[in-house]
Amino acid sequence: MKRRLEALVKERDQLLDEWANDKDSRLKLLVRIMDLEDEIAAEKSA
């Protein structure tokens, strides 16, 4: 479980970096970041 949480957090951080640099795909990134936030919350409460 901890590995999954770490992987989710790492992916979220990478997407946030992309968000700052790539203005063209921000909507797609936003949707994925929101999904990751939900998955991270679920993993933390599991």
- The pLDDT score that the predictor gives to residue 11 is 95
Domain hosting 35: range is 2-45
Number of compact structural domains in the chain: 1
- The pLDDT score that the predictor gives to residue 38 is 97
- The pLDDT score that the predictor gives to residue 46 is 83
Residues contacting 1, CB < 8 A, separation 6+ = 43, 46
- The pLDDT score that the predictor gives to residue 21 is 82
H/E run at residue 31:
helix 26-45
- The pLDDT score that the predictor gives to residue 42 is 96
Query: How far is the C-alpha of 19 from the C-alpha of 2, rounded, in Å?
Result: 26
Which pLDDT tens digits describe the chain residue by residue (46 residues)?
A: 799 999 999 999 998 888 888 778 888 888 999 999 999 999 999 8
pTM of the full structure: 0.68
Query: How far is the C-alpha of 37 from the C-alpha of 12, rounded, in Å?
Result: 8
Instruction: Tell me which amino acid residue 1 is.
Output: M
